[in-house]
């Protein structure tokens, strides 16, 4: 079985920075907490826990030591709360997310009604909603966007990990409904390049393997690209989940990873594919 691997694999810059900052905080001693996972990869979060980076489920659990803000950011209300309790704050919010929020805030200050294309309940969207309140409406699909009562001056932004295709479709729809439309491309370049590569790879393969957290929105987008093409698409977090029968009759397999997938998991997966390939070949070298 031939394997076509994406060029951009492993951590993006924002994820690497967040993990480095959390590890650094843990080395400095004292209790270290994040609120929810630092990044959307359970295996990395588990490794961080072993180094002393604990995950709090509620802000009330943050009461001493150091608070590390996740790569997706956190509401100002939480920051105020932990500072009031005397905790040190390490802000590992991805710079791309900060920039996207600043751009949305500027649009709002210019008097635009704002629609943001994003995942409801995603930390990045929760923070944006806290910042802008009623001035922003979060939509996830074309159908949701179609139901929004729009003003004549409309601004559109996106969660940094959204799909380019979805943005294109929704902007096309909205352009016909308003007098003035201002679209700011707040998609993360590191995410966009992975979507581009996946779009190119699905043209050349019989099946697609996507490596990364099942709760990771940017990783899920890559799997959606494969499924939209009607390709057999497998989204796994670890090598142990891979079943040899998936690849019966598959001559060429595409392999891509999300931006929060660590190098060691990718290597494990490649070893597993290698073992499956060799087991299935009587002429294995």
Residues acting as catalytic residues: 124
Transcribe 216-227 into DSSP letters: -HHHHHHHHHHH
Euclidean distance between CA atoms 259 and 263, whole angstroms: 11
CA angle 46, 129, 186 (to 5 degrees): 75
> 206 near 246, Cβ under 8 Å?
no
- Residues 164 and 158: their CA atoms lie apart, in Å, by 10
Q: What angle do CA 281, 282, 284 make, to 5 degrees?
A: 65
* Residue 161 DSSP symbol: T
Inter-CA distances, 156 with 21, 172, 183, 188, 190, Å? 32, 11, 5, 15, 20
Q: Residue 234: which H helix or E strand, with range?
A: strand 233-236
Residue 135: HSE in the Cβ half-sphere, 13 Å Cα cutoff = 16
The structure tokens listed for 259 are 């931006």
CA angle 78, 32, 43 (to 5 degrees): 100
């Amino acid at each position: 079985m031939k394997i076509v691997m994406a060029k951009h694999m492993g951590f993006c810059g924002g994820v690497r920075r967040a993990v480095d900052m959390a590890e650094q905080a843990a080395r400095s001693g004292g209790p270290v907490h994040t609120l929810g996972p630092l990044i959307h990869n359970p295996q990395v979060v588990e490794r961080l826990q072993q180094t002393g980076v604990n995950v709090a489920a509620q802000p009330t659990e943050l009461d001493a030591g150091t608070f590390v803000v996740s790569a997706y950011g956190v509401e100002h209300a939480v920051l105020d709360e932990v500072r009031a309790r005397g905790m040190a704050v390490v802000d590992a919010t991805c710079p791309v997310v900060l920039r996207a929020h600043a751009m949305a805030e500027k649009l709002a200050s210019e008097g635009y009604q704002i629609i943001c294309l994003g995942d409801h309940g995603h930390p990045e969207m929760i923070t944006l909603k806290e910042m802008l309140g009623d001035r922003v409406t979060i939509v996830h699909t074309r159908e949701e966007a179609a139901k929004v009562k729009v003003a004549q001056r409309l601004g559109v932004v996106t969660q940094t990990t959204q799909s380019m295709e979805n943005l294109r479709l929704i902007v096309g729809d909205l352009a016909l409904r308003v007098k003035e439309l201002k679209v700011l491309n707040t998609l993360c370049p590191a995410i966009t390049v992975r979507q581009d590569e996946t779009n190119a790879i699905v043209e050349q393969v019989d099946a697609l393997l996507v490596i990364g957290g099942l709760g990771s929105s940017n990783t899920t987008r890559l799997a959606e690209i494969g499924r939209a093409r009607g390709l057999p698409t497998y989204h796994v977090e670890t090598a142990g989940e891979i079943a040899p029968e998936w690849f019966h009759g598959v001559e060429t397999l595409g392999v891509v990873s999300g931006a929060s997938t660590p190098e060691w998991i990718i290597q494990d997966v490649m070893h597993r594919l290698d073992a499956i390939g060799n087991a299935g070949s009587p002429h294995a070298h």
